[in-house]
Amino acid sequence: MHRHRRGRGLPLVAALALLPLLLLQASAALAENAAEDPPAPRPPLDLKAVDTPNDRGESVDLEWRPSPDEADPAAGALLYLIERAQAQAGPFERIADAPAGTTAYTDNSVRDEETYYYRVSPRGTGGGTSAPSAVAGPVRSTGQWFDLRKLATLILTFLFCLTVMVLIRAARRGKTFYVRPIPGLSAVDEAIGRATEMGKPILFIPGISVASEVATLAAFTLLGRVAKKTAEYQTPVLVPCADPIVMTIAQEIVKSSYLDAGRPELYRQEDVYFVTQDQFSYTAAVNGVMLRERPATNFYIGKFYAESLVLAETGNVAGSIQIAGTDEITQIPFFVAACDYTLIGEELYASSAYLSQEPPLLGTLKAQDFGKAVGAILIVLGVIMAAFGQTWFVDFFRVQ
């Protein structure tokens, strides 16, 4: 027992003796770690806060120059902490983090007509956050009532509308305008006549898009002319529609045309009908109509996508005369390959003026020619000025 007591006392003495040594080692380790910690990076420079230009409001743009220490791997800033306050003295609230390399940020969480201040603090690799940048502000967000980037568009639109009005007025006063022959539109009467001789119906497909599409509006115009002729010749016109609103408008157009032709009793509402909004189900249904009814003439006027060639090739197999027109550039080659006549580009929109020869419509047609001439001149000017390093001219017309 005695020996045992002496044995317990020895480790305690040894531990007390070692304590200063352990403390020394710990402080040395701490000092070593402190030496490895990089210093906190310096703050970014020139922080600017401005109301986002040409926007809806509720937005502030921030921009800064990166921290001078960002490129230094030892003290590199890994993160910028973006802070916002409603008074210059704070309190600042952290609203977002941006990775190193970022020099701009858009704050979309502000309210209009309120004052804000911003500052940006870099956080280094060691986790230390340095002093923040100088406070930027005050800045107030407001929504703009005009998008300055669209100034060129506004000017050109205004000039185009003015040209249309002037030329309509000139046409009404008796000025005659030359319209070049468009084979696709010249063939409309011939195609309707052929259907009458064969005793077969005419199939008019107004595209597969909605009524607000400009190509569908062009289809309505041509449908009116075709329906009037078919009423005069007593030839049925079938109009399968892929949109119920298009169907309703098409029914009204065909009905009005039959009334204009003095044949309201020939109008059958069920000849203008809704099929489906599904693209290929519609295609299958219309292909079925083509192969069962064998229409003498098919019109494809409006917006078409991948179904264009399937429809036109089936019409070709059915032996119909085919006239097509679409504003979908990728589908024009398909129609050219499979149809007898194709309205290319703006020819689609010329149908009403070409077929009716009404002065107001001819005036708009001539205005389009002026528009194209102005466009060509501006393109040539842009090329020349860009070649001489004057990019401001091209930039003025750039809509971002």
Check: CB of residue 271 under 8 Å from CB of residue 237. Answer: yes
281 belongs to the binding site for another protein (CB under 8 A): yes
- Which residues 196-255 are close enough to bind another protein by CB under 8 A? 210, 212, 214-215, 217-218, 220-221, 223-224, 241, 243-245, 247-249, 252-253
Check: CB of residue 130 under 8 Å from CB of residue 124. Answer: yes
Q: Which is nearer to another protein, 67 or 314 (CB)?
A: 314
Range in contact with another protein (rule: CB under 8 A) among 83-91, 96-104, 229-237, 276-284: 276-284
- Which residues 84-123 are close enough to bind another protein by CB under 8 A? none
Q: How far apart are CA 275 and CA 71, in angstroms?
A: 64
Nearest approach, Cβ of residue 187 and another protein (Å): 19
Range in contact with another protein (rule: CB under 8 A) among 28-36, 43-51, 171-179, 275-283: 275-283
292 belongs to the binding site for another protein (CB under 8 A): yes
Check: CB of residue 279 under 8 Å from CB of residue 306. Answer: yes
Q: Which is nearer to another protein, 96 or 306 (CB)?
A: 306
Q: Which is nearer to another protein, 159 or 187 (CB)?
A: 159
Candidates 97, 113, 278, 395; binder of another protein (CB under 8 A) is 278
Candidates 25, 27, 109, 144; binder of another protein (CB under 8 A) is 144
Per-residue binding string, another protein, 342-371, x by CB under 8 A, is --xxx-xxx-x-------xx--xx-xx--x
Check: CB of residue 274 under 8 Å from CB of residue 247. Answer: yes
Q: Which of 115, 138, 134 is nearest to 46 (CA)?
A: 134
Nearest approach, Cβ of residue 355 and another protein (Å): 12
Q: Which is nearer to another protein, 136 or 218 (CB)?
A: 218
Candidates 75, 82, 168, 208; binder of another protein (CB under 8 A) is 168
How is residue 39 annotated by DSSP?
P
Kind plus residue range of the DSSP H or E element containing 323: strand 321-325
- Which residues 368-387 are close enough to bind another protein by CB under 8 A? 368, 371-372, 375
Q: Which is nearer to another protein, 81 or 378 (CB)?
A: 378
Kind plus residue range of the DSSP H or E element containing 364: helix 359-387
340 belongs to the binding site for another protein (CB under 8 A): no
Nearest approach, Cβ of residue 114 and another protein (Å): 15
Interior angle at CA 214, CA 212 and CA 217, nearest 5: 80
Please give the size of the binding site for another protein, defined by CB under 8 A: 81
Q: How far apart are CA 138 and CA 110, in angstroms?
A: 13
Q: How far apart are CA 49 and CA 208, in angstroms?
A: 48
Sign for the pseudo-dihedral over CA of 206, 212, 213, 214? positive
Q: How far apart are CA 127 and CA 156, in angstroms?
A: 55
